[in-house]
Amino acid sequence: MLGHIGVNVRDLVQAKAYYDGLMPLLGFEPYIAAADQFAYRPISSEPGTSLFFYPALEEAPYSRHRPGLQHLAFMVESRAAVHAVHAKAQELGSEVVHPPRLFPQYRPYYYATFWLDSEGFMLEAVCLREEEST
């Protein structure tokens, strides 16, 4: 299991405002909030990977198509949770790459949505449970 992931962002304040509204829907709570970083951990200190954000020290455009971070996928408990995250991403002004739907080419019952955050990072909320279509 990964202990934590560190992500550099161009605007730490903007990124924190974005993720503070999103991470509770993905099962994360604030962990660290400092002038030079912020982080989230699984709610109630459940086992899992923490996510840290740092200010980028070099100016460069980001692309998920170049070497480096392609996307981050967050496991959620239900298809309803996928829809809730999708609605929040839209509320935050995110560009939706794929609205909630089945992706059977990945595996049976793979139900997900993909969107771009304020930095252009692609994020995904995925549920792997068999449920009625929503």
Tell me, yes or no, whether 134 lies in a domain: no
Residues 26-63: tens digit of each pLDDT = 999 999 999 999 999 999 878 899 999 999 999 888 88
b/e per residue 81-103 (b: at least 16 CB within 10 A): bbbbbbebbeeeebeeeeebeee
Tell me, yes or no, whether 89 lies in a domain: yes
Helix extents (H) in the chain: 12-22, 79-91
Under DSSP, the state recorded for 94 is P
pLDDT score, position 50: 96
Tell me, yes or no, whether 39 lies in a domain: yes
Angstrom CA distances, 21 to 7, 60, 61, 77, 133, stand at 18, 26, 25, 18, 27
The CATH number assigned to the domain holding 39 equals 3.10.180.10
Indicate the pTM of the whole model: 0.91
Tell me, yes or no, whether 54 lies in a domain: yes
pLDDT score, position 7: 95
